[in-house]
Structure 1
Amino acid sequence: MNQPMIGQENLKTGFSEAEIEFIQKHKHENASQLILKAGQHKGFDVKKLAAQILSRQKAAKKLPEWSAHDQLIFPPALSVEQCSSEATAKYKASLVSGQQLTDITGGMGVDIYYMSKNFAHADYYEQQEEVAATAQFNFRELGADHITVHSGDSLEAIRNGAKPSDWIFTDPARRDANKEKVVLLSDCTPDIPSNLSVLFQNAPKILIKTSPLLDIDLASKELTNLVEVHTVGYEQECKELLFVLDKNATGQNFKIKARVVDSAGGILHQLDFDRETERNAAVTYSDPQAYLYEPHAAVLKAGAFKSICSIYDVNKLAVNSQLYTSDEPVTGFPGRSFKIIAVCKPDMKEITKHIGGDKANLTTRNFPAKPEELRKKWKLKEGGDFYLFATTLSDNSKAVIITAKY
């Protein structure tokens, strides 16, 4: 659904009471169907209000505090999908504090809203006037009067002597002029690596947020003064990478911090290491024992494939399988933990002997077939209490490990 401009009148005064009532009354309805029935709602710009409804539906789980606020103006649904969740924004807020914060890439403003709670004042820069105006309206409604909104080029403002900061935050755009995804930080907008000297003139510390698809080691080679990389997981996904830079830092041995957070940004699981520790970590391999462990996506993104063995006293199934096992249950493992019921050949007749039916959850790790291919081949329905892991063992044999949660 193409979403219309919000309208300058709304950016100044917000929606009328009648419009807010319309949005709340229809907030669970299909936005496209509402537009088709626009004739039934005389006196309303249904297309504009349907866009708000769609965005609020996208935000309901991701931004519960914001979506519960009737007065806020939401950007197009795609922008809501791409913005930080409240959970990850609150985690970022736990990393920064001081007197002055500067967000040089603006956007919807979720990150700076939560991070700014730890600062006396914050400056928000956004080049798109409508986006900046929407953020300014929302900050006012949220009571964040200590955030000053600027519509313009943040780097130019810093070059011209913008107010010094304790921290700079940036979430550079990860698509080029042709809307293609980019691989290097230097290909993002703005080009942070090329402008580090400018940014460090304004603040001694910088926090960079990127997509979890970015290669950590490639990015680390582009950045000077790198002290930490955080891989942030929420629910079952790795949501973002955070690069912490310190102007006074020396050396290249940055810490990697895998974090799985809850809805309040609190840490559920954590694992700290560095590349040298990972290289030198001792790994033991074994066949499946009594328990099976699948690391969280944030841990896998961090690359703690060997370190996890020594930290949690588990064995690895195979070099490339990224599944772990132990004879005794491990407390606090950063991922999913299962009790092993059986290990069998990747054959449905064998599997059925243990699950007693045709329904189970299925994951593949280092296995020459995708889950959907195996489901079709085995006529396996999704769900139930059994969890199957199709994988490769250390002797290169293929197996299905049948498990249940404990």
Structure 2
Amino acid sequence: MEETGLSEPEIAFINNHRHENAGQLILKANQFKGLDIKKLAAQILSRQKAAKKLPGWYANEKLIFPPALSVEQCSSEATARYKASLVSGETLADITGGMGVDCFYMSRKFGRVHYFEMQEAVAATAGHNFKQLGAENITVHNADSLAKLQADQPAVDWIYADPARRNEQREKVVLLSDCTPDIVSNQRLLFEYAPNILLKTSPLLDIDLASRELENLKEVYVIGYEQECKELLFVLDRDQEHSRFTIKVRILDDQGVALKSLDFDRETERDAAVTYSEPLHYLYEPHAAVLKAGAFKTVCERYALNKLAVNSQLYTSEILVGDFPGRSFKITAVCKPDIREISKHIGGNKANLTIRNFPATTEDLRKKWKLKEGGEYYLFATTLSDNSRVVIVTTKAAI
């Protein structure tokens, strides 16, 4: 497997042009003699995509980046750091390779790591990057991981997999069994080599459907970062005997530390008590990860909140709850969905707008109400438990 790297002139070019438009650089390629501008423009574009997502990697000028799409699809440093906090031991096998962001951060928790990647160029790039990052304990295998495991029959503490979520026609898939490699069909094989499996999937995957496909499921982590649900993590334990698994919502900061947490299971959610009320003094909007996890009733009971309506997924209270896993607002008014009424409370035509269980889109209402985005006010167009439609005018709560 041939190693790759950047020459000093190439590194200098990337540094000098790192904020420029990659397409424009290609058009001016004849101005830069002796350099492969298409290659370097691709590196610049990928680095631009990685600047916020992978700041540590972006800062290392000697690293080679894959195509921009791969950077968009890879884990962020924050989520990779969190995954590393879930695993530890003597040996890890990363059976799906790729860019290697997760593998690198998890390697800090193990004595030895085996990275498997079938594409030679991808494996060579990862190997180069691991060395530049000082991860000397990672062995790169340009091989089919499942075949290699069967041939070598190693004993490892953890297997990590992030299956490709596109089929042979490059179309996105959402069923776990349609991903590559097929973890569902190979669970028992993988358990022959490791007692623990950490499986990363798209946040689009149906948690309950996946739980029926997977054996020995212990925990499902629903990872939130900034305002999005970023990924699902399934922890499989060979010694897990019962089918009841815990769902763990984790909302992370930039360092991968959980700022907010919520643990529950499907039985807890089913039996949770729910009360409904009109909007009170404070309004709560759950983080996207909480909504993905399906903790709709648990939130009411856990944080002593009232729900506005069965399907609205907005909550309210008289007293401010400081550790709510989402955004908290102070209610200043409850109006009819009429811009003349709303304007009285926002003092103009500028506000942030959210739709929850309301028969219109955000774009439709902005156009209809001639409402600009931004400002200190946050409007929630929603339906209450008596089926009345309202707009709740709020400002961010001081926590």
What letter is aligned with 2:247?
I
More divergent stretch after superposition (13-22 vs 378-387): 13-22
Distance 1:142 1:56 in 2: 16
Distance 2:129 2:4 in 1: 11
Q: Is the aligned partner of 1:368 residue 2:359? A: yes
Task: Kindly indicate whether the alpha-carbon contact (under 8 Å) linking 2:282 and 2:328 is maintained by their aligned counterparts in 1.
Answer: yes
Task: Kindly indicate whether the alpha-carbon contact (under 8 Å) linking 2:285 and 2:314 is maintained by their aligned counterparts in 1.
Answer: yes
Distance 2:91 2:70 in 1: 27
Match of 1:350 among 335, 338, 341: 341
Task: Give the direction of change, closer, same or farther, for the CA distance of 1:28–1:181 in structure 2 (3 Å limit).
Answer: same
Q: CA deviation at 1:13?
A: 5.0
1:63-78 to 2 correspondences below 5 Å: 63-78=54-69
What letter is aligned with 1:295?
P
Task: Kindly indicate whether the alpha-carbon contact (under 8 Å) linking 2:84 and 2:106 is maintained by their aligned counterparts in 1.
Answer: yes
Structure 1 residues 45-99: Cα deviation after superposition (integer angstroms, max 9, x where no partner)? 1111000000000000000000000000000000000000000000000100000
Structure 1 residues 188-247: Cα deviation after superposition (integer angstroms, max 9, x where no partner)? 111101000110011000000000000000000000100000000000000000000000
Structure 2 alignment gaps of length 5 or more: none
Q: CA deviation at 1:43?
A: 1.4
2:316 matched residue in structure 1: 325
Distance 1:180 1:45 in 2: 31
Task: Kindly indicate whether the alpha-carbon contact (under 8 Å) linking 2:202 and 2:231 is maintained by their aligned counterparts in 1.
Answer: yes
Match of 1:227 among 218, 221, 226: 218
Match of 2:270 among 261, 273, 279: 279
What letter is aligned with 2:249?
A
Distance 1:65 1:164 in 2: 32
1:7-406 to 2 correspondences below 5 Å: 12-406=3-397
Instruction: Return structure 1 stretches of 4+ with deviation > 2 angstroms.
Output: none
What letter is aligned with 2:328?
S
Task: Kindly indicate whether the alpha-carbon contact (under 8 Å) linking 2:22 and 2:41 is maintained by their aligned counterparts in 1.
Answer: yes
**Identity across matched positions, percent:** 70
Distance 1:148 1:84 in 2: 20
What letter is aligned with 1:392?
T
TM-score by length of 2: 0.98
Structure 1 alignment gaps of length 5 or more: 1-7
Task: Kindly indicate whether the alpha-carbon contact (under 8 Å) linking 2:92 and 2:110 is maintained by their aligned counterparts in 1.
Answer: yes
Task: Kindly indicate whether the alpha-carbon contact (under 8 Å) linking 1:158 and 1:198 is maintained by their aligned counterparts in 2.
Answer: no
Distance 1:101 1:264 in 2: 22
C-alpha root-mean-square deviation of aligned residues, in Å?
0.9
What letter is aligned with 2:104?
Y
